[in-house]
Amino acid sequence: MLPFKVVYHDKYDLNLGPHVFPSQKFRLIAEALVAEKIASREDFVQPKPASDDDILRVHTPEWVRKLKTGTLTASDVMLLEIPYSRELVDAVWLAAGGSIAAAQCALRDGFGANLGGGFHHAYPDHGEGFCAIHDVAVAIRRLQADGAIRKAIVVDTDVHHGNGTAAIFRNDPSVFTISIHQLNNYPGHKPPSSIDLNMADRVDDEEYLGALLPAVQKSLDEFRPEILFYVGGADPFCEDQLGGLMLTKKGLMERDRRVFEEARRRGIPVVTTLAGGYARRIEDTVRIHVNTILAAREVSENFPLKAASRG
């Protein structure tokens, strides 16, 4: 049994077929958690699709209309980089609902995990880089609308800059954004996050953690958020096909654990979402994401909620 809930739906799979984005990973992660007795069936929560009202807190009516009616232009599809389908729309609405549910669980239990989501390249009026709907932004806006939180922080560890996140929250003092990414990589245009940690090619575990952890510590102390959304990238891995950093599986799990510890020590609930992972062997991508759940379990057990205090 996990000390927190895991949000997952079988329809998270975009059914892309032979594509560099391994959308079957969502199912494989869920299966691994059960097979390895990390999670029981009772630990899983099935999300409902986000409502259109929730999606429209972030996205323009025109973009929502295009997605729901299948009227994307050739340019829209080119930017999105994945084929349009009804399954895609169902999956991203469910992923947004999943991040809302995971956030609500985190506020109650201290942690919540969405086994999908992390679609950080989506802009209000278009999709980019496999991302059509920005589930994390939708979840933040829903929590704020409900009065559950005022301030949130997003810590994005995908190897690619969180350009959609930066653009959505650029002029919003209620949301602090950190992106640690490979500088010489997609996307070409990188709108400024609150903090951008631009990593050189082939950075290793030590240099990466040496940049990330002090930034997280300082930001949590100064911004004092009421929730942390963690976009857990598997693609800084040394054998990733779309990345150029040199992190090991051990280093990536240490990254997760240390960020979670910093939040937990300050009594800040954590929502984990997945992000990119394009390892040559899909088993490596799945293992990295499973390790994120293991790191959250470890921190939950080592830092009980009663021992954590909000500053």
pLDDT tens, 91-132? 999 999 999 999 999 999 999 999 999 999 999 999 999 999
Reported as a single tens digit per residue, the pLDDT across 54-66 is: 999 999 999 999 9
pLDDT at 18 over 90: no
- How far apart CA 99 and CA 108 sit, in angstroms, is 14
- The span from the first CA to the last CA of the chain, in angstroms, equals 30
Question: What are the residue ranges spanned by the domains of the chain?
Answer: 5-304
- How far apart CA 123 and CA 142 sit, in angstroms, is 17
Whether 132 contacts 160, CB under 8 Å: no
pLDDT at 308: 46
Adjacency order of strands within the sheet including 111-114: 44-45, 5-7, 111-114, 270-274, 227-232, 152-156, 175-182, 195-199
Fold of the domain spanning 5-304? Arginase; Chain A (3.40.800)
Rg value, the chain, Cα = 17
Name the pLDDT band for 309 (thresholds 50, 70, 90).
very low
